[in-house]
Amino acid sequence: MVLNTWFLDHFYNLDTIIRIGWLALIFAPFNKISKYCIILPTLLFSIECILMLLFRDLPVLNWISLKDLLMTIIVQRKQFYLMDLWIAQWMVYNFYAGCGKTASCGSYHINKTWTSERYVFTILLFLTYLAAPLGLVLYIVGKHSFLKEYQKNVQNVIKNDHFHIDQLKHPFSIPHTVRFADRLPESLSSIYYFLLGIIGLTILFTIVLPSYIGLIIYCRIVYKYSSSSLSDLKTIPESVRNVTAEMRLTLIKTDRNQRRLIWHLKYLLLQFATIFEYASNYSEPFRLFQSLEEYFRKIYHTPYFVLGNGIAVNSYDIVKRYIQDLPPRKDAELLAWEISPSLETFCDFTTVFLSTDHPDTQLGRKIIFQWLHSFPHNLKHRNFEMELQLSRIVPRHMDKKPTKDLVYQAIGEVMFFLATNGELTKSERLAYISCVQSPFIFFPNWFNFLLNGHHFERKNLRNYYTLLRAFLRYENGLALQAAFMAAEKKKSREEVLKFITVVFCVAGSPAPAKLAVTVIDRLWADKEKNVPLFKKNPHNFIKECARLDKAVPTVNILATDEIVSEVEKSFESKIQIPENTPIHCSIVNANRDKTVFENPDEFLPDRLDLNKILVWNGVEEDIINPDQSKRPIRYCPGHDLSLDIVQYVAERFSPVTDDIDEDNTNNKNEQDLIVFEQKIRKLTPIEESHCWNVLDTYTKVVRLLMTIVINESNLFPSRAIDIAPPMHLPIKNFSIFRIDMAKFIPSWDEDKPNGSRPLRRFARWLVNSNIWDFYDCLAGFDTLEQALAWRSQIFPSLPLPNIVYTDMFSDEAMGRLAFFGCACHYTQRIDKSEHPSLQNAVYVNDMTVLSIFRVRKPFERYGAAAYFDGDFQLIAIYWCHANRLVRKDDQFWEHAKYVWRSSFFAYVTIHDHLIVTHMIECNALVTATRKYLTNGHPLRLFLQPFTYHTVSVNYQAAISLVNRRGLVHRVWAFDYDEFLKVCDYISMTYKFRLLPEYIPSSMSPENNSKTKEQWDKVYPIYSDLNHFWKGIHKYVENFFHITFNVQDDDKLPVDARMTEFINELCKQLGIPGIVSLKRFIDVLAHLIVSGTGMHEHVGQISDYVIDPRFIGAKLEEGKEIQNIQTYTQILILTVVTGVRMPGLLEDWSHLIERNQYYEKNLVNYENFKNELKNLSQDIDHRNKTRKYPFESFNPKFIECSASV
Ligand SMILES: [Fe+2]
């Protein structure tokens, strides 16, 4: 105790520790230790305070003494010193913000040289130490003046390197001025809107909300009429609803010339009340309109009522007449209030609903019709390419209802693809989702002012410009050219583009996207009843959903003389309303009108009166009239398109039912999987709980955290258009580190410069913590059905297999696996069998290598070799663990087959997939590329798609999968040290060989006395791999001939960077040297095929795990089915490794450098893509005549770089 006191007195001084933090921050702001030097004093101070609270002598524990104690702590000067230190820390982060802090290792990729500005900043830091307020003020002033330029320069390095297609600056894409502050410099504009936000929120909370509360109290006091006969509306009290309606009626009746300040104040308050009432009934607005109508019928005996700033009506007949029969008149208004200036001015030549007879509006309708009719794609006539792209955009989800955002994204991407034949980038997809979710741009100016100073409205407007830029990329496409033509030079290209964008954002986003969600909700709510109804007539199903839906609750027009007199007459001339008063036609109520629809509140897609619905701005039966001249004057031009898109997306997201024949998918694979899934029953809660309790904590945690990966990959799917050009950074070290298996991998990825999202990083940290137990639980499933139900229910996001195996047990199936499976490149011909008793063996698939490695107890060793006769039939298996040759009549026959399947799966996954493809070949390519080729080097740009995300993929695999106590360690039965020996063995025996040589020479058609056609039917990898290789090789070869203008393939281009690049490749791949261009092209083509086609061949593991009897990651004596824990772990591995990269057939032409070789390189690129498409179709065709399908090298399944 005495020693402790002495130590504290002499060595512990918090002030000194704080000063050390300051020194570290000023002179080593980027050092990791500096971070701890700042955290440490805070931590110590916290401990001091806690100890003070706990151990201080308190004679009487009462409020007074406690307050004194707290005050003692609060007024301590140390905490002010600490606050100063954190302020300085913020200044450092702020000053160097955007400089590419890496997520993986905590270092910074910034310019660390001591420039004059950095000296100034350091002096400011020192001033902050002396007097924090002064230093902070000086820094803020400096940031907006002399330090600004420096910060801009540092950040420009990153911005320029990040320069991407969605950042294209074009005069059209610069946001227009809505308010005067938009003209100010960005920093001043930000300050203005920040202050405006504070003012807006202050007014909202101090004036508007109290006034509204006052209004509610007033309504309750003055309301006399009360009737239980009125509809009950729990969200808004009857008194408030009706009194405010009366007040609105009074305001509307007021002559325009007599509207004074009080009128306007009342108007704003009542508008606020309208928005509030509408928001409270957002899910079912028809109830609000119905209750208001009932009140006005009681009091005024009229079908009209007051809503927002005008008169509203629910009656079907009147709504139909106003929006369809009478000449339309319209203004910039929506729902029950005027729209925001951002929306009003974004496209000012026509209103958003195309509804008046003004020449501009008529021209707008013409433009839209021309645009729609010139779409390059039509869902009714799908070709191969389109089917392919759509299936990537909207992957089939059959086991789990998709989230709303996923449906929104699918609708936006499909619509954009149909319109442009292009893709939306990540930021554009997010902008679209935001347009669907966020309605603020539809609200009036004053209301948006209250919401944080127009913050949300401005965000909406930015989204519009983001999507405008997306269309701008395709301005030379068919559809936009047709739209420009339709404008007849009366409108500029900019105006037309804005108009198309606003149609896409307003008409094309919320309505169809939300309708699709409604349709999908219904399909999943009662799939046995609703899916057959949907399949019977998808359009009728969607229309019936639309009838009961709220996507477009009201359509409004302006009152003409005729309408004014009708309304006044209906009110028995008790009121007079001005011309052009807004008339809100309630679509949601008209579609539930009992006088038109039988049982209107019931969902009946077969109803006879369905085509009377008013959804697309007209009666449906008139809109679908073949005679176009008889269609309603203002019907929605996107009527057919929205129905088709919603149908397509709903089909892709619909659940599996027993009804298979009519399932709308052209993908044989999906059909097979659906048939497979249909046989699976539901898991009972007891079974689920039993299986779950069997799992070790690690597996449970990883299973839960897996959902983070899946949700992220669903919401941010990889698209080729998101592949950014290379970054230029001073990369001398991109955090290469050595992993246990003696490989050196980089950890910082320019494709993901900020690393993973925080939640994912946290999940990874949690998973890799050493707190989880490690044991092999052998408990098995009670029945096979239970195992399948477990897989289906707990892993609904299992990647779609390329081949759906229904049989992996029969002897014949073994022949299929040996000649069509993922280890078929190891099958070879044997002329002389080493087993005297196997004289009829012609082929062998030898997977005995793994038998030399020890496994954990009580598991069996891996290793087996399968022998086949000349008819490719299995005749015997050599089983390593028992060291015996097993034949058909042997009691271990089934077990030996299971061991062989499991052995080739383990060997291919560890050897081919993990070590050779990822850790050696892909790693060599990406490391050499990024280390030695500058961002302007043509080869770097050329290789960019083939190395996309490779660094982060390998890094994640290294730290979360193949680490000690990681998933791979747990899934397979090797001890970790033994697993490392397996890896070492693979690395030592690795010998670089070109891909065509992967196929043993004995497996050529000639050596098997077969023609190429005959051989393709029984051993398809031979032709598919060669075709694929040739396609890639030709692409690489042409690139060199075009870009480097090399005629002689024996010589390498003279290029110092390339020489370094080649040296690095040789070093990593163990190649003695590359001295000719021909050899260099071969090596590059090989590495590209390795990360694309070969990766697909050896890495598509979902084919082998849909049934727990197919393969066993661990082998147990006498068992041919996986236990619960291992099966769950291998399923997790499958899901995690199933996260997709962009497709090889997607478009990355934006990466082709715009230099003098651009045209030729573009032709090369297009030829390459066409060859791949032809190969894909050819493989599809040949698969029909092959003994079994083989998809490993089918380009439609292949990604452009290796995924996990
Ligand atoms: Fe992979």
Mean pLDDT of 229-256: 80
Rg (CA), the chain: 35
Residue 1141 Cα to ligand 1 middle (Å) = 10
* Segment (H or E) for 316: helix 316-320
Categorize the per-residue pLDDT at 11 as very low, low, confident or very high, splitting at 50, 70 and 90: low
- Determine the angle formed by the axes of helices 639-653 and 404-420, rounding to 10 degrees: 130
Residue 707 Cα to ligand 1 middle (Å) = 19
Which of 62-66, 177-181, 201-205, 564-568 bottoms out in mean pLDDT, i.e. has the lowest?
62-66
Residue 654 Cα to ligand 1 middle (Å) = 29
Question: Which residues 6+ apart lie within 8 Å of 275 measured at CB?
Answer: 337, 443, 447
pLDDT digits (tens, 9 = 90+) for 677-705: 878 888 889 999 999 999 999 999 888 88
Residue 850 Cα to ligand 1 middle (Å) = 21
- Sign (positive/negative) of CA torsion 632, 634, 637, 640? negative
pLDDT of residue 351: 61
Residue 412 Cα to ligand 1 middle (Å) = 29
Residue 778 Cα to ligand 1 middle (Å) = 28
Residue 1138 Cα to ligand 1 middle (Å) = 8
Residue 394 Cα to ligand 1 middle (Å) = 22
Distance CA 485, CA 302 (A): 48
Distance CA 146, CA 149 (A): 6
Residue 852 Cα to ligand 1 middle (Å) = 25
Instruction: Inform me whether the pLDDT recorded for 431 exceeds 90.
Output: yes
Residue 993 Cα to ligand 1 middle (Å) = 20
Residue 902 Cα to ligand 1 middle (Å) = 19
Mean pLDDT of 13-40: 79
- Highest average pLDDT, of 66-80, 649-663, 749-763, 1139-1153, comes from 1139-1153
Residue 803 Cα to ligand 1 middle (Å) = 18
Task: Give yes or no for a contact between 623 and 543, defined as CB atoms under 8 angstroms apart.
Answer: no
Q: CB-hemisphere CA count at 13 Å for 43? A: 7
**What DSSP assignment string belongs to 638-707?**
THHHHHHHHHHHHHHHPPP-S--TT-----HHHHHHHHHHHT--PPPHHHHHHHHHHS-HHHHHHHHHHH
Q: Give the 3-state secondary structure of 983-1037.
A: HHHHHHHCCCCCHHHHCCHHHCCHHHCCCHHHHHHHCCHHHHHHHHHHHHHHHHH
Residue 1084 Cα to ligand 1 middle (Å) = 19
Question: Which residues 6+ apart lie within 8 Å of 11 measured at CB?
Answer: none
Mean pLDDT of 926-950: 91
Residue 716 Cα to ligand 1 middle (Å) = 19
Task: Give yes or no for a contact between 1197 and 802, defined as CB atoms under 8 angstroms apart.
Answer: yes
- Sign (positive/negative) of CA torsion 8, 11, 17, 18? positive
Residue 919 Cα to ligand 1 middle (Å) = 10
Residue 750 Cα to ligand 1 middle (Å) = 19
Instruction: Inform me whether the pLDDT recorded for 357 exceeds 80.
Output: no
Residue 950 Cα to ligand 1 middle (Å) = 9
Question: Which residues 6+ apart lie within 8 Å of 517 measured at CB?
Answer: 404, 407, 408
- Which one, of 1074, 1084, 970, 1110, lies nearest residue 1029 by Cα? 1084
Residue 205 Cα to ligand 1 middle (Å) = 54
Phi and psi at residue 1191, to the nearest 5°: -115, 0
Residue 736 Cα to ligand 1 middle (Å) = 20
- Sign (positive/negative) of CA torsion 962, 964, 969, 970? negative
pLDDT of residue 1018: 94
Question: Which residues 6+ apart lie within 8 Å of 997 measured at CB?
Answer: none
Q: Can you say how many angstroms the Cα of residue 891 is from the centroid of all Cα atoms in its chain?
A: 51
Average pLDDT value over all residues in the chain: 85
Task: Give yes or no for a contact between 809 and 790, defined as CB atoms under 8 angstroms apart.
Answer: no
Q: Rounded to whole angstroms, what are the CA distances from 1156 to 820, 1045, 1162?
A: 45, 12, 11
Instruction: Inform me whether the pLDDT recorded for 1070 exceeds 80.
Output: yes
Q: Are strands 310-313 and 582-586 parallel, antiparallel or unpaired?
A: parallel
Residue 918 Cα to ligand 1 middle (Å) = 7
Number of separate helices (H) and strands (E) present in the chain? 49, 13
Distance CA 214, CA 210 (A): 6
Residue 216 Cα to ligand 1 middle (Å) = 62
**What DSSP assignment string belongs to 1069-1101?**
HT-S---SHHHHHHHHHHHHHIIIIIHHHHH-G
Task: Give yes or no for a contact between 1018 and 819, defined as CB atoms under 8 angstroms apart.
Answer: yes
Quickly count: other Cβ atoms within 10 Å of residue 106's Cβ.
12
Mean pLDDT of 812-824: 94
Claim: this prediction has a pTM higher than 0.85: no
Provide the token pair at 479: 């559809």
- What are the beta bridge partners of residue 307? 310
- What are the beta bridge partners of residue 583? 311, 557
pLDDT of residue 151: 55
Phi and psi at residue 827, to the nearest 5°: -75, 135
Residue 1197 Cα to ligand 1 middle (Å) = 14
Residue 1098 Cα to ligand 1 middle (Å) = 8
Phi and psi at residue 1132, to the nearest 5°: -60, -45
For the chain, domains (ranges, CATH) are 341-541+636-653 (1.10.630)
Categorize the per-residue pLDDT at 163 as very low, low, confident or very high, splitting at 50, 70 and 90: very low
Residue 905 Cα to ligand 1 middle (Å) = 14
Residue 996 Cα to ligand 1 middle (Å) = 21
Instruction: Inform me whether the pLDDT recorded for 728 exceeds 80.
Output: no
Q: Rounded to whole angstroms, what are the CA distances from 165 to 162, 168, 417, 724, 938?
A: 10, 6, 17, 8, 18
Residue 701 Cα to ligand 1 middle (Å) = 22
Residue 956 Cα to ligand 1 middle (Å) = 11
- Highest average pLDDT, of 430-434, 930-934, 960-964, comes from 430-434
Instruction: Inform me whether the pLDDT recorded for 103 exceeds 60.
Output: no
Categorize the per-residue pLDDT at 2 as very low, low, confident or very high, splitting at 50, 70 and 90: very low
Residue 958 Cα to ligand 1 middle (Å) = 12
More confident residue, 644 or 72: 644
Instruction: Inform me whether the pLDDT recorded for 1102 exceeds 80.
Output: yes
Residue 1137 Cα to ligand 1 middle (Å) = 6
Spell 666-702 as b/e; 16+ CB within 10 A means b: eeebbebbbebbeebeebeeebbebbeebbbebbebb
pLDDT digits (tens, 9 = 90+) for 373-398: 999 998 888 888 888 889 888 888 77
Provide the token pair at 978: 């033994």
Q: Rounded to whole angstroms, what are the CA distances from 870 to 189, 1159, 1190?
A: 79, 52, 20
Residue 315 Cα to ligand 1 middle (Å) = 60
Residue 565 Cα to ligand 1 middle (Å) = 72
pLDDT of residue 225: 67
Residue 360 Cα to ligand 1 middle (Å) = 55
Residue 909 Cα to ligand 1 middle (Å) = 9
Residue 240 Cα to ligand 1 middle (Å) = 62
Task: Give yes or no for a contact between 367 and 350, defined as CB atoms under 8 angstroms apart.
Answer: no
Cis peptide before 858 (omega within 30 of 0): yes
Distance CA 638, CA 653 (A): 22
Instruction: Inform me whether the pLDDT recorded for 60 exceeds 60.
Output: no
Mean pLDDT of 1053-1064: 90
pLDDT of residue 166: 47
Residue showing tokens 């008194």: 239
Residue 1189 Cα to ligand 1 middle (Å) = 22
pLDDT of residue 414: 95
Quickly count: other Cβ atoms within 10 Å of residue 67's Cβ.
10
- Sign (positive/negative) of CA torsion 104, 106, 110, 112? negative
Instruction: Inform me whether the pLDDT recorded for 59 exceeds 60.
Output: no
Categorize the per-residue pLDDT at 152 as very low, low, confident or very high, splitting at 50, 70 and 90: low
**What DSSP assignment string belongs to 933-988?**
S-TT-HHHHHHGGGGTTHHHHHHHIIIIISSTTSHHHHHSS--HHHHHHHHHHHHH
Residue 1076 Cα to ligand 1 middle (Å) = 31
Instruction: Inform me whether the pLDDT recorded for 670 exceeds 60.
Output: yes
Residue 422 Cα to ligand 1 middle (Å) = 27
Distance CA 672, CA 390 (A): 20
Quickly count: other Cβ atoms within 10 Å of residue 63's Cβ.
7
* Segment (H or E) for 88: helix 77-95
Residue 1095 Cα to ligand 1 middle (Å) = 6
First to last CA, the chain: 56
Which of 119-128, 242-251, 297-306, 1183-1192 bottoms out in mean pLDDT, i.e. has the lowest?
119-128
Provide the token pair at 388: 């392919």
pLDDT digits (tens, 9 = 90+) for 257-297: 778 888 889 889 998 999 888 888 888 888 889 988 988 88
- Which one, of 826, 836, 805, lies nearest residue 1110 by Cα? 805
Beginning with the edge strand found earlier in the chain, give each strand of the sheet holding 582-586 in spatial order.
304-307, 310-313, 582-586, 554-558
Residue 1092 Cα to ligand 1 middle (Å) = 10
Q: How much of the chain is in helix, strand and coil states, percent to nearest 5?
A: 60, 5, 35
Residue 1203 Cα to ligand 1 middle (Å) = 5
Phi and psi at residue 752, to the nearest 5°: -145, 65
- Which one, of 1013, 1170, 1030, lies nearest residue 1093 by Cα? 1030
Distance CA 206, CA 136 (A): 32
Residue 111 Cα to ligand 1 middle (Å) = 35
Residue 594 Cα to ligand 1 middle (Å) = 59
**Helix, strand or coil, per DSSP, at residue 295:** helix
Residue 390 Cα to ligand 1 middle (Å) = 24
pLDDT digits (tens, 9 = 90+) for 306-349: 988 889 999 999 998 888 887 777 666 666 678 888 888 888 77
